[in-house]
Structure 1
Amino acid sequence: MQTASVPGFIRTILIIVGIYYAFKILARLLMPFLLRKMVQKAEQSFKQQMNNPNPNSNQNQNTAASFEKPKPKKQVGEYIDYEEVE
């Protein structure tokens, strides 16, 4: 059975720390680009919704109508009121 060597352990720790800092630096460089793309995509979808409101308006009316009509509750049985007899 082999035992772990101290230089090998230190090397592994340095590799893990190096990967962590490399990821951190790349995230700082790439995050503004990714956020800008997400904002542009959201802006495009918002503009598209504002320019074409008709296809969704029929669907919105249907959902609003379903909220106005309460569904009747299913009756399970007859309600009986019991009085306490002394």
Structure 2
Amino acid sequence: MGFLRTILIIVLVYYLLKILGRLFAPQLFRYAAKKTEKHFRERFGGFTDFDTANSDREGDVIIKEKQSKKPSSDSKEKVGEYIDFEEIE
């Protein structure tokens, strides 16, 4: 009798938690999303879109070129040795 009572209590607690989870999970996730958004806004709030203040019109194409670095003499150095592979039949 005690064994059946224990099984019944476990099953009832499982279904109760399942029902409560369905009721409160959306609010819990909403709360977690708001806290995460707040955290990211505080941490990365200074990184906004810089081009919005300087943009002329929507649809304009603006090409910004980076300053090209002159190739240094170090790039001409030999990096490794060449290995020629042959097929074996």
TM-score range for the pair, normalised by the shorter chain length: 0.3 to 0.5
Query: TM-score, length-normalised on structure 2?
Result: 0.46
Query: TM-score, length-normalised on structure 1?
Result: 0.47
Structure whose residues are more often helix by fraction: 1
